[in-house]
Amino acid sequence: MNLQLNNKVIIVTGGAKGIGEGICKVLAAEGAIPVIVGRKAEDNLKVVAAIEAAGGRAFQVAAELSEPAECKKAVDAVVAEYGRIDGLVNNAGVNDGVGLENGNYEAFMASLHKNVVHYYLMAHHALPELKKSKGSILNITSKTAETGQGNTSAYAAANGGRNALTREWAVELLKYGIRVNAIVVAECWTPAYDTWINGLDNPQEKLNSITSKIPLENRMTTAEEIANATAFLLSARSSHTTGQIIHVDGGYVHLDRALANA
């Protein structure tokens, strides 16, 4: 299926690693021009080089998105380079473990800046160009907003905010023909996940415990699977889909996990 993404300029925050990297590579393979926005230029450029080596095109902007001014700087750099924005993927963030019992105001607020404030700011600053292109916004969110996890109040709150903003923006932007959707991630294999699990005392035992609870095929979701769904939702092939919060999680959130071992 041709997703009709040729030459579309699409910003991907956190595009240098993990899910964001997967999204950038899939978009480039579909003919789009992903713009990798990440805090380290050297990491961004590695993805740009990999995409170009595969015959695609990409651009990068180094920005620390937890700093509000950096969000505008990133958007301005894309407009200066291409004169347009056709899509925005809000993806950057970190499950930073700011809980209720052991957290504090400063850490909680800092986490919100890392995980949801820049979603709003990137969309706000990109909106004038998205109006012109009738582009799309795709928010990556986490199961923590729906299932809880424990000891991660700020991240869970941020993801609840991401889900709410998806529906709110879909309503507000109807008049411009701008579609807004979200993809909820549960257990997805990324380098950060690999680092976390291999830092545990019994990593394989823990991994087996997690995958045994994922109903479809007892395995982790891949970054490419998240990326494929993202590309579709950004494309004209999903032209009547907006305000949707879609779970690409092997049934983890909504299916009875007892089914995984049935």
Dist CA 151 CA 1 (whole Å): 43
Which one has a higher pLDDT value, 122 or 196?
Answer: 122
Residue 137 has pLDDT above 80, yes or no: yes
SS3 233: helix
pLDDT in tens, 165-180: 999 999 999 999 999 9
Give the pairing of strands 179-185 and 188-189: unpaired
Beta bridge partners of 89: 12, 138
SS3 131: helix
- Which domains does the chain carry? 9-189+223-257 (3.40.50.720)
H-helix or E-strand spanning residue 259: none
Dist CA 99 CA 154 (whole Å): 7
Dist CA 188 CA 5 (whole Å): 25
Catalytic residue, candidates 82, 119, 120, 155: 155
pLDDT in tens, 17-64: 999 999 999 999 999 999 999 999 999 999 999 999 999 999 999 999
Dist CA 62 CA 41 (whole Å): 5
Q: Could you tell me which of 74, 65, 171, 147 has the C-alpha nearest to residue 112? A: 65
Residue 262 has pLDDT above 70, yes or no: no
Residue 261 has pLDDT above 80, yes or no: no
8 A C-beta contact, residue 209 and residue 200: no
DSSP 250: T
Average pLDDT, integer, range 174-190: 97
Q: Is residue 155 annotated as part of the catalytic site, yes or no?
A: yes
Average pLDDT, the chain: 97
Residue 1 has pLDDT above 90, yes or no: no
Dist CA 128 CA 12 (whole Å): 17
The single-letter code of the amino acid at 98 is V
8 A C-beta contact, residue 28 and residue 137: no
With bands split at pLDDT 50, 70 and 90, how would you rate the model's confidence at 257?
Answer: confident
CA angle 126, 132, 134 (to 5 degrees): 85
**Residue with structure tokens 């509000």?**
68
Average pLDDT, integer, range 244-256: 97
8 A C-beta contact, residue 178 and residue 130: yes
Cα 80 vs. chain centroid, distance in angstroms? Answer: 24
Dist CA 170 CA 151 (whole Å): 31
